[in-house]
Amino acid sequence: MSVKKIVIFGECMVELVSANETQLTKSFAGDTYNTAVYLKRSAPQVAVSYLTAIGDDFLSNELLFAMGNEQISTEQVYRSSKRNLGLYMVRTDQHGERTFAYWRANSAATQTINAMTKAPEDIDFFYFSGISVAILDEPQRLKLFELLATLRNKGCKVVFDPNYRPLLWSSRDEARFWMNKSYQLADIAFPGGDDHLALYEHVNTDEVLAHLAPFEIDEVVMKNGAVGVHIVNSDGHFIVPVQQVANVVDTTAAGDAFNGGYLAARLSGKSVTDAASYGAIVAGTVIQHPGAIIPADTLHKAVAP
Ligand code: ADP
């Protein structure tokens, strides 16, 4: 079997988490990067490459090493001498409620498409999210969509998760416009219940699926927390139950981890329902540990057959 190749496009940031009143723990995370990590860890035989731009500073170097340690190809990581990594900080209060603060507006990743000297080619899958689109200016968004159309014409499958973050868009109408454009080019889509409620005011699965029907997406995989996963493809509509996790520690990256696990299984030849069950196990494990990226051995122990 030939090696499957996927390019994952987006932004990875520095993550600072309050360890206590005076100390911060530093790591690297971002929606698409989290998916890249969980995909590669779950399917080491898949060639995973991350497309982004980073700075020329020591933190950017550390991120490059972190990617290398995860066996993610950094061939399409571009360097900027003028900009650096975006950063976010998480504070958890005594009730476990998390608050996020972001410094990302002028990050290197916002210029990725301008920085790209060689567009990805000869790949099987291209993955991006609503955040990947939101951080780009309009000329870069248009170039990205040209690239997606070209890749699709050559048989590459486009994979999209909306991951709606209102603060990154100038209005909800603007977000809807670009999200719909993204769905239009998607072969596999990962809509989330919360995202569709906030973005389109959809209040149930039927409304989400009805919105997506005209886009004729081959594989729609709808996540909805612990409620279960709905999949619609040419074979029908399947509902995969999710084992509810009693001890939820931190839901950061639940959806990203699910996507990574799901794609790992699909790219390894598994059915959509088996892939959803596997994605749910990966996500269910991640939410029992703090942070977006949990230690590799913790994940492996939990998902080992
Ligand atoms: P997002 O992070 O995109 O909002 P969801 O909250 O829908 O995504 O969660 C993504 C996946 O994480 C779900 O499909 C499910 O597999 C898993 N998950 C989320 N919350 C729970 C929970 N309380 N118990 C078990 N699994 C969960």
- For ligand 1, atom 10, the nearest C-alpha belongs to 255
Residue 187 is a catalytic residue: no
pLDDT at position 305 over 70 = no
Distance of CA 31 from the midpoint of ligand 1 (Å): 14
Distance of CA 247 from the midpoint of ligand 1 (Å): 13
- State the pTM of this model: 0.97
Give the whole-number percent of the chain exceeding pLDDT 90.
89
Q: How far is C-alpha 71 from the geometric centre of its chain's CA atoms?
A: 17
Split at pLDDT 50, 70, 90, the class of 290 is: confident
Predicted local distance difference test score (pLDDT) of residue 96: 67
d(CA 268, CA 68): 22
d(CA 52, CA 180): 23
Q: What is the mean pLDDT of residues 184-208?
A: 98
How would you label 67-92 residue by residue, b for 16+ Cβ within 10 Å and e otherwise? beebebbbebbbebeebbbbbbebee
Residue of 229, 242, 277 with the most ligand 1 atoms within 8 Å of its CB, for mutation: 242
- For ligand 1, atom 19, the nearest C-alpha belongs to 225
State the closest ligand 1 atom to the C-alpha of 229, by its place in the atom list counted from 1: 14
ipTM of model = 0.97
Does residue 127 have its Cβ closer than 6 Å to ligand 1?
no
Residue of 281, 287, 288 with the most ligand 1 atoms within 8 Å of its CB, for mutation: 287
Distance of CA 229 from the midpoint of ligand 1 (Å): 9
Does residue 228 have its Cβ closer than 6 Å to ligand 1?
no
Q: What would the two tokens of residue 137 be?
A: 């200016």
Residue of 165, 258, 272, 282 with the most ligand 1 atoms within 8 Å of its CB, for mutation: 258
The string of DSSP letters for 64-127 reads: HHHHHHTT-B-TTEEE-SS----EEEEEE-TTS-EEEEEE-TT-GGGGHHHH-SS---S-SEEE
Predicted local distance difference test score (pLDDT) of residue 20: 79
Split at pLDDT 50, 70, 90, the class of 1 is: low
Split at pLDDT 50, 70, 90, the class of 97 is: confident
Distance of CA 53 from the midpoint of ligand 1 (Å): 29
pLDDT at position 15 over 80 = yes
Does residue 197 have its Cβ closer than 6 Å to ligand 1?
no
Distance of CA 225 from the midpoint of ligand 1 (Å): 3
State the closest ligand 1 atom to the C-alpha of 245, by its place in the atom list counted from 1: 24
Q: How many CA atoms lie within 13 A of 26 on its CB side?
A: 9
